[in-house]
Amino acid sequence: MEEQHTLKKTLKPIHLWAIAVGLVISGDYFGWSYGYKVASPLEFLVSTVLISFFYLSFAFSFTELSTAIPKAGGPFAYALKALGKAGGFLAGFATLVEFLLAPPAIASALGAYLHFLFPEVPPTAAAIAAIVIFTLVNLIGIEQTARFELFVTVVASLGIVFYLWQIAPYFQFEKIWESGKPFHWEGVFAAIPFAIWFYLALEGVAMAAEETANPTKDIPLGYGLGIGTLVLFALGIVILTSGLGITEQLAQSDNPLPQALLFAKGEQTFLVNAFAFFGLFGIMASLLGIILGYSRQIYALSREGFLPKFLSKLTQNTQTPANASIAGGIFGIICVLSGKTDELITLSVLGAIVMYIVSMVSLFVLRKKFPDLKRPYQTPFYPFFPAMALILGVVCLLSVVYYHLALAGIFLAALLLSVCLTVFKSKS
């Protein structure tokens, strides 16, 4: 029987909203509070506002690409058409770094949350088990995966709303200014990777474009609702949490939201303990969504010959890229065992920023090279939005490289090695 090479088209706008928010929402539950290590509350707030504007302008621009070229490879597919194989390879590599390194960091946080609730559970073992379980969930098919993603995303979103509602009465506006530190732009730029963590992997919804029932209508609606939800959550969390006056304590915490609730309530009530379960749902939503994203990215790169062909093999019944999912899961387990969660986050952010820049360049090039390309959705305020996204993307890249020079060197070395392997493969 001839092998199927077509992904199933079943996703609706509500599923795309769930994937967009679910991919990112773990960043509301952990990781962002490390920004208080390098920035005052006001500096971190400014950084979050700056990055929120960056993602808004990027999302509106990126939607044009995802509807004009609704391919599973997402940024890889756009850059390949606009910039050729070199640009496609760079976008694909950067996206793969982002999506392969984020899951082990998220799984480690899931292990930490489980250990917090049940001290007898080893966090590393729980993290590995989470990767295995959600890889298996991803294999059952996109429709079932999307339904489960919708469920956990709704629960996780209700958790954020509940958190904001509970701490709002304890918010004091003056606490944002009372850190005792003068405002410096250096702190704003140093906090950029942690502000990005609020939105990291948002673009992964584009990788489900081939599986969307009506991409031209469903993607703009689902994506727009997703970015709107995430902006409200990010700004609400930073503003209200900064107004509690405990940013120094939260800077050391792997579970900042339960810790903030604990401070507000004054004791470890049932409410605080119950909220930790919301954190589990948030982390599960992102882990499942990003596993879905990297499996499609590996599939797309393999389909175009940049990765071994067996990685683009689809299962006969569900048409899911099983080999791509399993390969990414094995890599994630190895990264979990490294124990370098903070470095994984930074490398993932670095990959994302490179991909954002290449995507915006691709948008401008496609407008020029293919003016007649069917664009069901066009970027509003063009060229202002994509230009702002491009400029802010370059600023973010320079900031991350400056503050994490060694990790930037690792990223570059991995890119060069991948280029050499690809060239060798093409000549053999």
CATH code of the domain containing 161: 1.20.1740.10
Of the candidates 377, 22, 373, 18, the residue with the CA atom closest to the CA atom of residue 214: 377
Asked whether residue 213 is assigned to any structural domain, the reply reads yes
Tokens 């006969």, residue located:
316
Asked whether residue 134 is assigned to any structural domain, the reply reads yes
* Number of residues that this document lists for the chain: 428
Asked whether residue 6 is assigned to any structural domain, the reply reads no
**Structure tokens, 357:** 């820049």
Asked whether residue 140 is assigned to any structural domain, the reply reads yes
**Structure tokens, 195:** 């502000």
Range of the domain at 304: 13-427
Average pLDDT, the chain: 84
**Which pLDDT belongs to residue 180?**
62
Q: How confident is the model over 379-388, as pLDDT tens digits?
A: 888 999 999 9
Asked whether residue 5 is assigned to any structural domain, the reply reads no
Q: How confident is the model over 155-200, as pLDDT tens digits?
A: 889 999 999 999 999 998 888 876 667 788 988 998 988 899 899 8
**Which pLDDT belongs to residue 330?**
92
Calpha distance 220→235 (Å, rounded) = 22
- The burial class, CB within 10 Å (0-12 / 13-18 / 19+), for 142 is buried
pTM: 0.83
Indicate if the pLDDT at residue 64 is higher than 80: yes
Asked whether residue 2 is assigned to any structural domain, the reply reads no
Asked whether residue 148 is assigned to any structural domain, the reply reads yes
Q: How confident is the model at residue 221 (pLDDT cuts 50, 70, 90)?
A: confident
Calpha distance 14→27 (Å, rounded) = 21
Based on the structure, what is the number of domains in the chain? 1
Asked whether residue 372 is assigned to any structural domain, the reply reads yes
Torsion sign over Cα 99, 379, 210, 368? negative
Indicate if the pLDDT at residue 208 is higher than 70: no
CB 293 within 8 A of CB 204: yes
pLDDT cut 90: percent of the chain above it: 26
Indicate if the pLDDT at residue 3 is higher than 50: no
Q: Kindly report whether the peptide bond that precedes residue 383 is cis, defined as omega within 30 degrees of 0.
A: yes
